[in-house]
A and B are shown apart, each in its own frame.
Chain A
Amino acid sequence: MSLMTPTSPEASRHTGPYLQVEDLRVHFETDDGTVKSVDGLSFAVEKGKTLGIVGESGSGKSVTSMAVMGLHTSKNARISGSIKVDGQELVGAPIDVVRRLRGQKMAMIFQDPLSAMHPYYTVGNQIVEAYRIHNDVSKKAARAHAIDMLDRVGIPSPRDRVDAYPHQFSGGMRQRAMIAMALSCDPSLLIADEPTTALDVTVQAQILDLIRDLQREFHSAVVIITHDLGVVAELADDIVVMYAGRKAEHGSAEQLFGEPQHPYAWGLLGSMPRFDRPPTERLLPIKGTPPSLINVPEGCAFNPRCEFSSRVPGERCVTDRPEALDAGGGHRVACHLPTAQRRQIWADEIAPRLA
């Protein structure tokens, strides 16, 4: 199969998840030691579905997305495990093979559209460039395509705006243009790394709507990476909660918001002032700070901050690293507490506290 010819989503030969990540490890060698940014992460996304990856800074969520795109250029990065896009293995694949997939089968949008677009080239020029790498078309045809893309992401009078420079756009318009650029080759996988963090709330709502609409239209697999539980609740079908480079909890959005089972997820929910509930007196923060990725705690990485580790018999939280095991219905939780006990704690102690 030639990688240079555009493939329509239907033409893909592979069945099963469009993106499949298994036991992904991304380690960086530094003078201070090995930074284990991602340490054994697995997930899968099917076409037409959205996966949300949630975590705080240093949880490894952005490193994961860069690894999928093959964008870790540092010589110090060591990547192992498996990343399959449309059935094709990317880990260990030649640089040029991964490069040809970028932009064509998988595309990415970034947090700050002002710095993510080149200030010296027009918006149209940058979209044309993205389109023409993977499609052998004339400049004129590519330009027409760029105008069409700008129109589809809701930029008014795209025929004029195509020749504008990024600084002449507002923040929201820039993010729309960024999305137009990412979607120009009709990729089946879209990774959005904090796509609305730099935007105001009313513009954020517009962009989230746009991503949702475009996903339906393009029937693509979407990975949305964010620190904002509200954003994933809006968009995601499945959610991975990451902590210190590993998966803490993984389940459907309904499972995660309906009955979260990991103490870290409880902590996150308690830390957030709830907009949809009556105001509370105090927030319930997680004690301490996230660990250094050079020196991740033994056993469960969350144990020094966990309120419930004392309820686990023995020293297991300090000695054994919990695996993300199925707690029923595909809801995976990496915690030594037995499932029944976690459900009990959620129902009796956590849920009432949050209400």
Chain B
Amino acid sequence: MNDAAPLLEVEDLVKHFPVKGRGLLQRATQAVQAVDGVSFSVRRGETFSIVGESGCGKSTTARLVTRLLAPTSGTVRLDGKDISTLPERQLRPLRRDVQMIFQDPYSSLNPRHTVGKIVGAPFRLQDVEPEGGRKRAVQELLSLVGLSPEHYNRYPHEFSGGQRQRIGIARTLALKPKLIVADEPVSALDVSIQAQVVNLLEDLQDELGLTYVMIAHDLSVVRHVSDRVAVMYLGKIVEVADRDDLYEHPRHPYTAAMLSAVPVPDTRRRTERERIRLQGDVPSPIDPPPGCRFHTRCWKATEVCRTEEPPLVQIGPAPGHLAACHHPEEK
């Protein structure tokens, strides 16, 4: 396999959830356009983050990439192999290569299973016998994520939120996956614990050469962990770029507005910072605005924005900096 080729390639991914119609028969005439034509690729060993506000489709994208959901259309290629149309029973090998970390460390662990059973579950499900036996493998995993091997026989309720998230991470690492998709991995944790888990994820990446797709809404955390970042709005990627390009020279007005809205722990910044305040709310994904989906809230919108959908194209000098905007920011 070619190491230079991207590990994950997503092309024109679409997921529509039909909604009940209002008529007598409630036929599904409308659909929530949760993800509507999303393309990106993730290189080996990098952290690719998808940010956006609730309802933008970032979590749906994560579930499509891991095939917890089947896409309406489009392709997802892992290591060059199209996994988007695989039927349910052929997904077992995929479950080894792609693992998911969930947001809530309280509900994602079975309270009636011991830590050993939880972390060892992937071995059982995939019928893998690691060298030295499963118990030893699990204990090694536990120490890898900073837990004690003695925790093997304990139950999840005996652990704090941060420790539970570590248990969840140990489970995802059991089968040495190629890709880990983390959906808001630290947002349920306290600040001081968040930092511990963020550091752990970074250490594991260095040590094991992991590739992450990170879904998050906290722009500060995303900036800290990511190599590249995509911004989603109403089911579409509006901007994607290297981390520093995106944060220092946002091209899409939505990205700029979002970045300017992040509160910063520094009182001096109260007056210095230039703030862009968006008006109104995100429109319904059932009936997204025509043209550019952001035009209803955009202060730069003109006639063309209302009629023509801007393509996601290279903007500015930085390679790989794409934005979908008729009037990109110039800075």
CB distance A203 to B281 under 8 Å?
yes
State which of A200, A204, A231, A268 has its C-beta within 8 Å of the C-beta of B192: A268
A229 at the interface (CB under 8 A from B): yes
Complex-state Cα separation, A26 to B277, whole angstroms? 40
Q: Say how far A270's CB is from chain B's closest CB, in angstroms.
A: 7
How many Å from the CB of B92 to the closest CB on chain A? 37
Are A273 and B220 in touch, CB under 8 angstroms? Answer: yes
| Interface residue range, chain A | 35 or more
Query: Which residues of chain A come closer than 8 Å to B282, judged between CB atoms?
Result: 170, 200
Is the pair B220, A227 in contact by a Cβ cutoff of 8 Å? no
Whether A286 contacts B192 in the complex (CB less than 8 A), given A234-B270, A257-B267, comes out as yes
A204 in contact with B199 given A268-B192, A273-B223 (CB within 8 Å):
no
Contact check, B198 vs A283: say whether CB atoms are below 8 A apart: yes
CA distance A56 to B60 in the complex (A): 30
Q: Given the complex of chains A and B, what is the CA–CA distance between A286 and B54 in angstroms?
A: 30
Asked if B125 CB lies within 8 Å of chain A CBs, one says no
A294 an interface residue at 8 Å Cβ cutoff? Answer: no
Q: A57-B190, A205-B277, A275-B220 are in contact. Are A282 and B263 (CB under 8 A)?
A: no
Neighbouring A residues of B267 by C-beta, 8 Å: 233, 253-254, 257-258
Partner of B190, one of A172, A203, A227, A230: A227
Smallest distance from the beta carbon of B157 to chain A beta carbons, Å?
A: 14
Cβ-defined contact, B195 with A285, below 8 A: yes
> What separation, in Å, do the CA atoms of A233 and B273 have in the docked complex?
13
Give chain B interface residues in 168-206, CB to chain A under 8 Å: 190-196, 198-199, 202
Q: How many residues of B contact A (CB 8 A)?
A: 40
Contact B194 A276 (CB under 8 A): no
Q: Is A276 a contact partner of B223 (Cβ separation < 8 A)?
A: no
> B193 to A231, Cβ gap below 8 A?
no
Confirm or deny: B264 has a beta carbon within 8 angstroms of a beta carbon on chain A.
yes
Mask of B287-327 contacts with A, CB within 8 angstroms, 1/0: 00000000000000000000000000000000000000000
Task: Give the docked Cα–Cα distance between A254 and B268 (Å).
Answer: 8
A338 CB-CB contact with B under 8 Å: no
Inter-subunit contact B53/A202 (CB<8 Å): yes
Any chain B CB within 8 A of the CB of A228?
A: yes
Report yes or no: B223 in contact with A279, Cβ–Cβ below 8 A.
yes
**What 1/0 mask marks residues of chain A from 166 to 209 whose CB sits below 8 Å from any chain B CB?**
00001111000000000000000000000000001111111011
Binding site for A on B (CB under 8 A): 53-54, 160, 162-163, 190-196, 198-199, 202, 217, 219-221, 223-224, 243-244, 257-258, 261-270, 275, 277-278, 281-282
A-B contact pairs, 7 of them (CB 8 A): A57-B190, A202-B53, A230-B265, A257-B268, A268-B191, A273-B198, A279-B223
Which 6 A-B residue pairs are closest in the complex by CB-CB distance?
A: A230-B263, A285-B195, A273-B224, A200-B53, A271-B195, A205-B261
**Chain A contacts to B: CB under 8 angstroms:** 56-57, 170-173, 200-206, 208-209, 227-234, 253-254, 257-258, 267-276, 279-280, 282-286, 289-290
